[in-house]
Structure formats: C-alpha cells, structure tokens
Amino acid sequence: MDVNEGLNHNGQYSTATTAEDFRINIAEVNRRIDSAAARAGRDSTEIELLPVSKTVPQERIREAVAAGCHKLGENKVQEAFRKSDELADLDINWAVIGHLQSNKARDVAKFASEFQALDRLKVAAALDRRLEAAGRSLDVYVQVNTSAEESKFGMPPEELLSFLRELSQFPTLNLQGLMTLAVFSPDHDRVRTCFQRLRTLRDQAQETDPELIGAGKLSMGMSGDYEVAIEEGANCVRVGQAIFGKRALPDSHYWPENG
C-alpha cells in the first residue's frame, strides 16, 4: 500500500470547516478502516477512531462535534485543558495523547478521561494522587518506544513488564493497553515493524502475565499509516489531519520534549 493513499489527489489533506466537511472526511476514514480490517480478517467494531484536534481552533471543533465526534485527542495538556473549558457546553471526552510532565498531572486529573502517553512511574503516582483526591479515574495506555533511537518518547520495551507490575498499585488508573508512535518514515515496512513490535509485546505480556496488561488494546496508527496499523492489530487509531486537514507545521513542532 502506498503512503499517499491517505491523502487526496493534491497530496494534501483538505481542511474541514463545516459539519458536512467533517462528515465526509470521517466517512472516508471509516471506509478505509473497514477495508483495512476486512483485509486483515478483523472486525472493525474492535477498532476505535480517535479524532485528534490539536492546533484546531474551537470554532472548527464545534463543527466536528456536530458531525458526531464526542471524544477528541490532544497532545498538549495546556491546549487540551483550555479547549475543555471553552467547549464545556458540549459533550466531549478528552484524551491526552502526548508526553506529560508530572507537574501537569493535576490538570490532566481534572478534565481528561484518557491518557495515552504514560511512560514513567513518577507521572503515574502523581496522576493517581490527584485522581484519588478528585474521586475520579482515568483510562491509560502505556507508551512504548518501538523505534529505538529514533524517538525519545515512550519506555524501552525491556522495561515494560516491570513497569506494568508497578502500575497495579495505582487503583485510579484503568489500564487499556499499549500505545506507540511509529518511526517517521515514508517507508511502510519500517513503520510496520514498529507496530509489529508493539503487538508482540502485548501478546507476550498476555501470555506470561495476563493480569498485568489490562484490556490489552493497542493504540497505534495516525493519518499516514492507520491502515497499516489496523493490519497489524490496532484497536485505536489516532487520526488528526485526515479528518481536520493538514497542519501548518511539521509534527516535530507539536511534539516538544517538554510538552
């Protein structure tokens, strides 16, 4: 499959501004999810499409909600927190999908329903303490680095099991499974290898320590590679540009080390 299949014929993701635009883009992504699932002999009802609204202003998010998006992913806590406030009149569940510093755990505990980038015990402990105080719980995915030196995000695979063992001491964190960002490459074989690594880690954990892996889901795949991710077993695909339109700046800009 070609990497450009997710793009329209201009090689760009078109910007959705009206609810109708969103309906069209979402229908197209769902169609591709269904066919990728069919190719892999999977049931597409076990695959969640998580629209990622980072950098998108609230006016356009309102249109996306009108088109049926009631759970949104954001990679920066501040931006997500601000939007949750601006859009408090709407029914939206917020998923924080980007790196978190423990001093921002308090904010996440206030408004998010899901956190997909858990990779340090310090953050888990900080979240648990705040959630406990607020009487809330949080769905979490543990982020694993499946591209070795190419990424600074996520925990090394060899540390996963001991991390999962420690996580069980935090009752407010509902483990959903594992999350990864694949290597940034137009080469789908290299991307696929990252997804396969995540699935293998999940399968191994389910084999040896089934009680540690929670729901055992896999969050992997973005606009450029979600079909590959589905072929490799994704249960959640995080799709921004193919729904909202192209972002102005390269991804590295939105993934600051200290986000």
Please count the residues of this chain forming the interface with ligand PLP, following the rule CB under 6 A.
Answer: 14
Q: What are residue 60's phi and psi, to 5 degrees?
A: -75, -30
**What sign results for the dihedral spanned by CA atoms 30, 55, 119, 114?**
negative
CB of 133 to ligand PLP, least distance (A): 27
Least CB distance to ligand PLP at residue 254 (A): 6
Nearer to ligand PLP, 180 or 212 (CB): 180
Q: Does 180 bind ligand PLP (CB under 6 A)?
A: no
CB of 208 to ligand PLP, least distance (A): 28
Note whether 116 and 104 are within 8 A (CB). Answer: no
- d(CA 143, CA 198) in angstroms, rounded, equals 10
CB of 110 to ligand PLP, least distance (A): 21
Contact call for residue 154 and ligand PLP (CB under 6 A): no
Q: Is 217 in the site for ligand PLP (CB under 6 A)?
A: no
Phi-psi region of 223 (alpha: psi -120 to 50; beta: other; left: phi over 0): alpha
Contact 3, 190 (CB under 8 A): no
61 makes contact with ligand PLP (CB under 6 A): no
Q: How far is the CB of 198 from ligand PLP (least distance, A)?
A: 13
With the CA atoms of 4, 8, 9 and 10 taken in that order, what torsion angle do they form, in degrees rounded to the nearest 10?
A: -100
Contacts with ligand PLP, 229-258, as mask; x by CB under 6 A:
---------xxxxx-----------x----
Helix (H) or strand (E) holding 96: strand 93-96
Chain residue at closest Cβ approach to ligand PLP? 240
Which residues partner with 52 through β-bridges? 73
Per CB under 6 A, residues contacting ligand PLP are 52, 54, 75, 97-98, 181, 222-223, 238-242, 254
